[in-house]
Amino acid sequence: MWGIPVLDGRRILLVISGGIAAYKSLELIRRLKDRGADVRCILTGNASHFVTPLSVQTLSGNKVFDNTFSLTDEHEIGHITLARDCDLVVVAPATANLLAKMAHGLADDLASTALLVTDKPILVAPAMNFRMWGHPATAANMATLKGRGVHSVGPNAGMLAEGESGLGRMAEPAEILAAVESLLAAGPLKGIKALVTSGPTYEPIDPVRFIGNRSSGKQGHAIAAALARLGADVTLITGPVKLPDPANMRVIHVETAREMLGTALGCLPVDVAVCAAAVADWTVSNASKEKRKKDASGQPPPIELAANPDILATLSEKGSARPRLVVGFAAETEKLLEHARAKFVRKGCDWIVANDVSPHSGTFGGDFNTVHLLTQGGAEEWPRISKTDVAERLAWKIADTLKGHP
């Protein structure tokens, strides 16, 4: 089941600060409630410009506290009780301003006072302009907070509210939720070893040219992160990508398909292998150690191709080192299910995640995906959702399957 209520009875204090990403906090509240959590919320003065106290109260089912110390609130609960009568404090979004207050011990409103007085774990989800995130002051503040044991999730790279692109987007609600679950509950994948491949492979033609593909690695990296948040011991093997290494896992960088296969075999045994990498089917058998030149007539030199090793099929082979669950990906531009079913039979894996990567789909390099999950029981069609949500959904399905089949 996707969405097991593992937070039944756990009390979350959610601090919502003033940034455009505050709108995501409404979805986070809903997801926390769906997991069974009791959510209380503090809104900073600026946060109320982005989300209303009424919407937060309606979703949480609890009174919303703001940045004033009313006598009624102090009598009924008090800021110290509010900060300590919880299992976890979540700050989402965590602006540069609030992170600075936390790092320097300032307490000039209810939110910063509660954060200073709490004795419970704190999880922050930073959100700000990429220049603010990259500023040395913010970096120093985050280092200070992490040194004090404050946990963090994100930020992510992508388009920002100002129309610029960079590292500074608040983590998606699904990512924050999984981080909360990881902190408050023994993850359902605790004790499970997972191997994930991600990104493209580059097959050299010569020292400056290569054969590759358009894979960004976003889906594979998201799956690795989702498995880690559920408690798995994850090794991520990634081809060349422009993504930061996910936290809380071992990351190994490779370039070619042969390097990826050798590295994967060296990581065995594992319980689950998810082969999300877009591995080049061919390598250049006559690759040159020097830059290739056109001949005297201006014609390009011939390129000879040879088949690359099949990583998914190799990991799916029967034997003592075979993972209990092997999941492959089928990226197709036409006849999606027909080609995916053929690959499912041919590779010998347990599941295939089939996705449309035709130019109109926007899958390569994009943040959303539409997939079908093929298993021995048939095909499941998943709606178009973010790659983060695809990863979470797949991670929970893996958890359910491995728990049910030791």
How many Cβ atoms from other residues are within 10 Å of residue 368's Cβ?
Answer: 15
403 is known to lie in a ligand binding site: no
Q: What angle separates helix 173-184 from helix 387-404, to the nearest 10 degrees?
A: 30
- For CA atoms 61, 388, 341, 276, give the dihedral sign: negative
Q: What is the DSSP string of 19-49?
A: SGGGHHHHHHHHHHHHTT-EEEEEE-TTGGG
Q: Which strand (E) or helix (H) includes residue 258? A: helix 257-267
Strands 88-94 and 64-65: unpaired
**Residue 310, annotated as binding a ligand:** yes
Residue 318 annotated as binding site: no
The contacts found for 174-178 with CB under 8 angstroms, 24 or more apart, are 174/31, 174/386, 174/388, 174/389, 174/392, 175/225, 175/229, 175/388, 175/392, 176/28, 176/90, 176/92, 176/123, 176/125, 177/28, 177/31, 177/32, 177/35, 177/392, 178/226, 178/229, 178/230, 178/392, 178/395
Is residue 369 part of the annotated active site? The answer reads: no
291 is in an annotated binding site: yes
Strand, helix or coil at 349?
coil
329 is in an annotated binding site: yes
Residue 309 annotated in ligand binding: yes
Q: Please tell me the total number of residues recorded for the chain in this structure.
A: 406
- List the catalytic residue out of 213, 248, 286, 355: 213
Give me the residue label for tokens 């204090």.
Answer: 13
Based on its alpha-carbon atoms, the radius of gyration of the chain, rounded to whole angstroms, reads 24
Bridge pairing between strands 371-375 and 351-356: antiparallel
Binding site as annotated, residues: 281, 291, 309-312, 329, 343, 347
Give the residue numbers annotated as catalytic, written as ranges. 213
Binding site as annotated, residues for CTP: 281, 291, 309-312, 329, 343, 347
